[in-house]
Each structure stands twice: as structure tokens, then as C-alpha cells.
């Protein structure tokens, strides 16, 4: 039995971890499940970095050459053009590869529109599973496409309970096809192995707050940068470090420069290891408009770090519902943000312990057991 993943992307994003760990959970626990191949489809060369891996995950190229590095990645319009290029250039190669390889399952993480449109063809030999997080804006066109092709989709998974409920309310997919599959799958060994790796000297002896995510409007980093510039003394940190890449990088750097904060606020770009940063931060802060579930929130909870986050759908609301596990503030609200910062000064060990127990639900083993039930 073959299981393939589809997840084309432009810049390094948290979903990469989601795919790799999900695939890893299957490849490491496939002895009794008759699985002889776990693979990720490489649409433009974005997965080339994973070809040398030790997790028995194959990378299957749709093209004999890589053109990923030539795709525009900064700017909203440019990034959308790049996704359109991937959409059109992968149309026939995806059909050909799936018809040739005949995987039993195709698990779709990003750019779901192409597999959905091709589902009448692909589903003849392959069961298509959609992973939907951060429910997209249901435009008339998207709603129409989902309704027309929903019968060709085998199952739909959601990483949070809230998104699961929202999907069921839409009444597009059969309720019996929709399942909760928590991710990111926490790789405890990877985290424990990398959390104590030394930081760059510049940050080693300094107190810093940390935020991790794509540099997009949704993450609302502009608000965080402004709050740190205005209330640095109240926050009580030397530096604000932001890890991630994305279309707003140039814009955010200009804001940092205009606030004369280039010596205290740093855009660190992509970091292969984020766990040493999380492990050493004073607090992890998320100012996002929505998170589903919020990878860095789960990883920070596992490492027993203080978490300050906007109270938004869907991951943060799950963490609120499961025991008020973070210090919450209203999205984009300055006064509420300050209140959460001040509240976090009183370290609540019970809150931190409860958050770690919550993060344990996201283990690779737990993910694998739930995924096997969905596949069966």
C-alpha cells in the first residue's frame, strides 16, 4: 500500500512540519499496516531538501528539474502568481503521477483546489483525504467547487475541534467523512535533542520575547513590532525576535527601521532549529488573526514556556477551553495586550503544567493511532 502527501509551498512554513511528522508517524509504525511506500509529491522542487532523510519518506518529483527557486515569494500579488504557476504546471503531471503510481491514499495539505478539481479522475484509484485548517473564506466560487466535488473526497481532517464543528455546519461534506486529527505531531525526541543547542552570541545572555510564523498579514506582526517599540520596558525584554519568512518581510523591516528599533527587533528568517529559541525565550507571543492550531503555541507549551496570545479561532480558543492555558488578549487591542503582559508577570506554574499536558495530546504516536483509524 502507498500513501502520498501533496503540500506545495513557497516559503518555509509550519505546515512543512505537519506533513513531515505525519508521514514520519506512518513510516515508523507501518510494520502491521502493509504500507510499503510513504512519499511526498515534489511539485516544483520545494521538497528537494528532504531527499536526504532518515525517516524512510520518499520524495516523488512531478518534474525532472526544479524551478522553485525562480518563483516570486515576496509580495501578496507575486506570491499568488507563483501559486497559479504551480497550479497550472502541475495539472497534467499530477494526473499522470497518480495514475501511474496508484497510491491508495493522497493526503492533501495545501493548494487543495487542484486535487479537488482533479478528484473525479484521481479518485478512481486513489482515496483523497483533505486536511483543512484555518477554514478559508467561503466565497461563492469556493463553495460551489466544494459542493460539486465533495462526493469524490474520501475523508476530511481538521487539526482543531472548532474547525471540525465549522466544517460540519457548512453541510458541504458528509458529516461522517469529517474527523479530528490533531497536528502538529510533536516529535519529543527532536525537541529534546535540539532545545539546548547554543544560541548566537548576540542573544545568548539577553532576555528576549519570541514570535514564530509566516510573515503575512494574518500573523499581525506589525502590531507586535509596534507594541514592543512602545512598551519595551513594561514587557521587560531586551529583544523581540521574529522567526519566519513571507511576503511581508520588506514591509516589516521598513516599519522596524522607521521606529528606530533595528537594534532591538530582529527578523531572523527561517531557522532550521527553533527549539533552542523557544527554550530560552522569556515568553512566546502570538498576535495572529487566527491560528489553527498554532504550531509554536503547542511546542512552547510542551517546553513549559509562558505563552501570550490573541484569543482567536481556532487553536487559542481550544487552549482557553481546555484550561485557560495561556495569557490571552483581544486581537489587535492595545489595552488588552498590555493587560495580558502585566498578568503574565506573575508566573503561574499550574497554568504552565496544564499547558504541557495539553501539548502531550499532539504526540507522533497519538497522531499515528488517529490517522490509522481514519485511513481504515
| CATH code assigned at 238 | 3.40.50.2000
Tell me: do 263 and 142 sit in the same domain.
no
Per the CB < 8 A criterion, the answer to whether 191 and 275 are in contact is yes
Q: For the purposes of burial, counting CB atoms within 10 Å of the CB of 89, is it exposed (0-12), middle (13-18) or buried (19 or more)?
A: middle
Give the pLDDT score at 96. 96
Q: How far apart are CA 116 and CA 129, in angstroms?
A: 10
Per the CB < 8 A criterion, the answer to whether 49 and 57 are in contact is no
Q: Cell 458529516 identifies what position?
A: 175
Tell me: do 275 and 346 sit in the same domain.
yes
Q: How far apart are CA 180 and CA 156, in angstroms?
A: 9
Tell me: do 103 and 204 sit in the same domain.
no
Per the CB < 8 A criterion, the answer to whether 18 and 115 are in contact is no
Per the CB < 8 A criterion, the answer to whether 12 and 245 are in contact is yes
Q: How far apart are CA 121 and CA 125, in angstroms?
A: 8
- Stated pTM of the model: 0.89
C-alpha to C-alpha distances, 34 to 38, 175, 365, 370, 373, nearest whole angstrom: 11, 28, 18, 17, 15
Tell me: do 46 and 194 sit in the same domain.
no
pLDDT of 134 over the 60 cut: yes
Largest CA distance in the chain: 61
Q: How far apart are CA 336 and CA 329, in angstroms?
A: 5
Tell me: do 98 and 194 sit in the same domain.
no
List all residues 6 or more positions away from 235 whose beta carbon is below 8 Å from its beta carbon.
209, 227, 228, 341
Tell me: do 39 and 124 sit in the same domain.
yes
Tell me: do 263 and 283 sit in the same domain.
yes
Where is pLDDT greater, at 24 or 240? 240
Tell me: do 159 and 236 sit in the same domain.
no
Tell me: do 214 and 308 sit in the same domain.
yes
pLDDT of 32 over the 60 cut: no
Region 13-33: mean pLDDT is 81
Region 91-113: mean pLDDT is 94
Give the pLDDT score at 52. 65
Q: Which three cell numbers stand for residue 35?
A: 504500507
Pick the closest to residue 136 from 170, 161, 106, 107 (CA basis). 170
Tell me: do 159 and 257 sit in the same domain.
no
pLDDT band at 23 (very low <50, low <70, confident <90, very high): very high
What's the total number of domains in the chain?
A: 2
Segments forming the whole domain that contains residue 279: 188-361
Tell me: do 158 and 202 sit in the same domain.
no
Tell me: do 147 and 210 sit in the same domain.
no
Q: Which three cell numbers stand for residue 272?
A: 532550521
Residues found in the chain = 376
Give the pLDDT score at 65. 93
Q: Which three cell numbers stand for residue 219?
A: 500573523
Amino acid at each position: 500500500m502507498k500513501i502520498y502527501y501533496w503540500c506545495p509551498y513557497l516559503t518555509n512554513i509550519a505546515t512543512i512540519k505537519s506533513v513531515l511528522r505525519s508521514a514520519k508517524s506512518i513510516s515508523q509504525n507501518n510494520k502491521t499496516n502493509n504500507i510499503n511506500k510513504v512519499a511526498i509529491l515534489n511539485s516544483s522542487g520545494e521538497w528537494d531538501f528532504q531527499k536526504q532523510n532518515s525517516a524512510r519518506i520518499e520524495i516523488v518529483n512531478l518534474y525532472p528539474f526544479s524551478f522553485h527557486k525562480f518563483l516570486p515569494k515576496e509580495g501578496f500579488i507575486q506570491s499568488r502568481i507563483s501559486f497559479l504557476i504551480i497550479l497550472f504546471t502541475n495539472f497534467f503531471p499530477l494526473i499522470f503521477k497518480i495514475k501511474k503510481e496508484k497510491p491508495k491514499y493522497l493526503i492533501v495539505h495545501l493548494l487543495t483546489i487542484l486535487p479537488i478539481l482533479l478528484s473525479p479522475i484521481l479518485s478512481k484509484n486513489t482515496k483523497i483525504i483533505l486536511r483543512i485548517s484555518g477554514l478559508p473564506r467561503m466565497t461563492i466560487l469556493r463553495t460551489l467547487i466544494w459542493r460539486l466535488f465533495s462526493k469524490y473526497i474520501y475523508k476530511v481532517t481538521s487539526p482543531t475541534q472548532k474547525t471540525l464543528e465549522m466544517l460540519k455546519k457548512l453541510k458541504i461534506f458528509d458529516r461522517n467523512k469529517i474527523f479530528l486529527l490533531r497536528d502538529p505531531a510533536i516529535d519529543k525526541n527532536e525537541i529534546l535533542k535540539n532545545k539546548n543547542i547554543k544560541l548566537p552570541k548576540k542573544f545568548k545572555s539577553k532576555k528576549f520575547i519570541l514570535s514564530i510564523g509566516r510573515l503575512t498579514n494574518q500573523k499581525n506582526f506589525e502590531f507586535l513590532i509596534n507594541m514592543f517599540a512602545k512598551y519595551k520596558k513594561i514587557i521587560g525584554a531586551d529583544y523581540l525576535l521574529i522567526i519566519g519568512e513571507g511576503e511581508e518581510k520588506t514591509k516589516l523591516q521598513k516599519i522596524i527601521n522607521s521606529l528606530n528599533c533595528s537594534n532591538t527587533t530582529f527578523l531572523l528568517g527561517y531557522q532550521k532549529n527553533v527549539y533552542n529559541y523557544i527554550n530560552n525565550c522569556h515568553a512566546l507571543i502570538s498576535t495572529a488573526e487566527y491560528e489553527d492550531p498554532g504550531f509554536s503555541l503547542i511546542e512552547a507549551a510542551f517546553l513549559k514556556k509562558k505563552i501570550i496570545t490573541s484569543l482567536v479561532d481556532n487553536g487559542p480558543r481550544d487552549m482557553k477551553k481546555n484550561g485557560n492555558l495561556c495569557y490571552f488578549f483581544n486581537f489587535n487591542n492595545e489595552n488588552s495586550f498590555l493587560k495580558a503582559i502585566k498578568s503574565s508577570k506573575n508566573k503561574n506554574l499550574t497554568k504552565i503544567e496544564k499547558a504541557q499536558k495539553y501539548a502531550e495530546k499532539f504526540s507522533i504516536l497519538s497522531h499515528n493511532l488517529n490517522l490509522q483509524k481514519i485511513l481504515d
